[in-house]
Amino acid sequence: MDNLTVEQRHKNMSNVRSMNTRLELFFFALLEKEKIRFTKYPKLYGKPDCQLGEKVLIFVDSDFWHGWHFKKWRKRMPKNYWISKIEGNMFRDKKKFRKLRNSGYNVFRIWEHNLKKNPDKVIEQIKSLLKESK
């Protein structure tokens, strides 16, 4: 899926999962390997992917659907619908992160490219975050 064009990704929209994506399952396996306790998909506002401890929420977000460097590639989008879709996702992400932080949660977003490129660094960041939140 990494080498798909923007147009090819759109054609595969029906295959997009909201839970238990390959990326999330990869991340959960890393946490389990490191013996980091977590709760998958806690029933909280914003639908975080997992919760660590009482106040740490993790969102594992794909670069495409959540708009990483969206300004650079939005001109290549084939239809305005997709531009609106991704901009809407970005807006909702900001809103839910703000609301969760205002509720006392420590919100951590893991981008797809970071997780794939350097999973060890992501795990070290998580461990550091857990130490800080105690």
Residue-wise pLDDT for 63-112, tens only, equals 877 777 777 776 667 677 777 888 888 999 999 999 999 999 999 999 99
Question: Which parts of 62-119 are beta strand (E)?
Answer: 106-111
Global pTM value? 0.80
Asked if residue 1 belongs to a domain, the reply is no
Strand 56-61 relative to strand 106-111, pairing: parallel
- Which CATH number do you get for residue 98? 3.40.960.10
Asked if residue 77 belongs to a domain, the reply is yes
Asked if residue 59 belongs to a domain, the reply is yes
Asked if residue 39 belongs to a domain, the reply is yes
Asked if residue 115 belongs to a domain, the reply is yes
Number of domains in the chain: 1
Q: What would you measure as the largest C-alpha separation in the chain, in angstroms? A: 47
Asked if residue 111 belongs to a domain, the reply is yes
Give the pLDDT band (50/70/90) at residue 11.
low
Determine the structural domain holding residue 69 and report its residue range.
Answer: 6-133
Strand pairing partners for 108? 58
Asked if residue 62 belongs to a domain, the reply is yes
Q: How big is the chain by its Cα radius of gyration, in Å? A: 15
How much is the pLDDT for 12? 55
Asked if residue 19 belongs to a domain, the reply is yes
81-113 burial, b for 16+ CB within 10 Å, e for fewer? ebeebbeebeeebeebbeebeeeebbbbbbbbe
